[in-house]
Chain A
Amino acid sequence: MRIAISAAGAGPDAPAEERFGRCAWFVIFDEHGNVQESIANTARSSAEGAGVKSTQLLLRNNIDVVLTGRVGPKAMHAMLNGGVVVYTGVAATVNETLEKYLNGQMKPLAVPNARQHAGDTRSERLAT
Chain B
Amino acid sequence: MIIAVASGKGGTGKTTVATSMALSLQDMSSEVTFIDCDVEEPNGHIFLCPQITGSDNIYIEVPEIDRQKCTRCGKCADLCAFNALLATSDEVIVFPEFCHGCGGCRYFCPVEAVTMMPKKIGTVEKGLAGRVKFARGRLEVGAALSPPVVDAVKKHSTDQGIIILDAPPGTSCPVIHSVRGSDFCLLVAEPTSFGLNDLDLAVQMVRSLGVPCGVLINRARERSCLIEKYCREHELNVLMKIPLSKDIAGAYSRGIPLGAVDGKWNKAFRRIYRDIRELVANEGNNRYQR
**Which positions in A face B, CB cutoff 8 Å?**
43, 46, 48-50, 52-53, 55-56, 59-60, 74, 77-78, 81-83, 124, 127-128
**Which positions in B face A, CB cutoff 8 Å?**
9-10, 74, 77, 82-84, 86-89, 91, 93, 95, 97-98, 144, 170-172
Measured in the bound complex, the distance between the Cα atoms of B87 and A55 in whole Å is 10
Cβ of B4 to closest chain A Cβ, rounded Å: 19
> Is B89 touching A43 in the complex (CB atoms < 8 A)?
no
> Is A52 touching B89 in the complex (CB atoms < 8 A)?
no
> Is B172 touching A82 in the complex (CB atoms < 8 A)?
no
> Is B82 touching A55 in the complex (CB atoms < 8 A)?
no
- On chain B, the residues within 8 Å of A55 by CB distance are 86
Q: In the complex, given contacts A53-B83, A78-B95, what are 13 additional A-B residue pairs having Cβ atoms less than 8 angstroms apart?
A: A48-B83, A49-B98, A52-B86, A52-B95, A56-B77, A60-B74, A74-B95, A78-B93, A81-B93, A82-B89, A83-B88, A124-B170, A128-B10
> Is B83 touching A49 in the complex (CB atoms < 8 A)?
yes
> Is B88 touching A81 in the complex (CB atoms < 8 A)?
yes
**Of A48, A50, A59, which contacts B87 at CB under 8 A?**
A59
**Of B9, B10, B83, which contacts A43 at CB under 8 A?**
B83
Cβ of A56 to closest chain B Cβ, rounded Å: 6
- On chain B, the residues within 8 Å of A46 by CB distance are 83
Known contacts A49-B84, A59-B89, A82-B86; is A127 also within 8 Å of B9 by CB? yes
Cβ of B249 to closest chain A Cβ, rounded Å: 22
- On chain B, the residues within 8 Å of A74 by CB distance are 95, 97-98
Measured in the bound complex, the distance between the Cα atoms of B98 and A60 in whole Å is 21
Measured in the bound complex, the distance between the Cα atoms of B168 and A128 in whole Å is 11
> Is A56 touching B86 in the complex (CB atoms < 8 A)?
yes
* 7 closest cross-chain pairs (CB), A and B: A49-B83, A82-B88, A53-B83, A52-B83, A49-B98, A78-B86, A81-B93
- On chain B, the residues within 8 Å of A82 by CB distance are 86, 88-89, 93
Cβ of B205 to closest chain A Cβ, rounded Å: 12
> Looking across the interface, which residue of chain A has its beta carbon closest to that of B87?
A56
> Looking across the interface, which residue of chain A has its beta carbon closest to that of B197?
A123
Measured in the bound complex, the distance between the Cα atoms of B77 and A91 in whole Å is 32
Cβ of B93 to closest chain A Cβ, rounded Å: 5
> Is B88 touching A59 in the complex (CB atoms < 8 A)?
yes
> Looking across the interface, which residue of chain A has its beta carbon closest to that of B93?
A81
Cβ of A4 to closest chain B Cβ, rounded Å: 16
Cβ of A125 to closest chain B Cβ, rounded Å: 9
- On chain A, the residues within 8 Å of B10 by CB distance are 128
> Looking across the interface, which residue of chain A has its beta carbon closest to that of B9?
A127
> Is A49 touching B82 in the complex (CB atoms < 8 A)?
yes
Measured in the bound complex, the distance between the Cα atoms of B91 and A59 in whole Å is 12
Would you list 12 pairs from A and B whose C-beta atoms are within 8 A, ordered by A residue? Answer: A49-B83, A49-B95, A52-B84, A59-B86, A59-B89, A74-B97, A78-B93, A78-B95, A81-B88, A82-B86, A83-B89, A124-B170
> Is B86 touching A81 in the complex (CB atoms < 8 A)?
yes
> Looking across the interface, which residue of chain B has its beta carbon closest to that of A43?
B83
Cβ of A58 to closest chain B Cβ, rounded Å: 11
> Looking across the interface, which residue of chain A has its beta carbon closest to that of B91?
A81
Measured in the bound complex, the distance between the Cα atoms of B170 and A82 in whole Å is 36
- On chain B, the residues within 8 Å of A50 by CB distance are 83
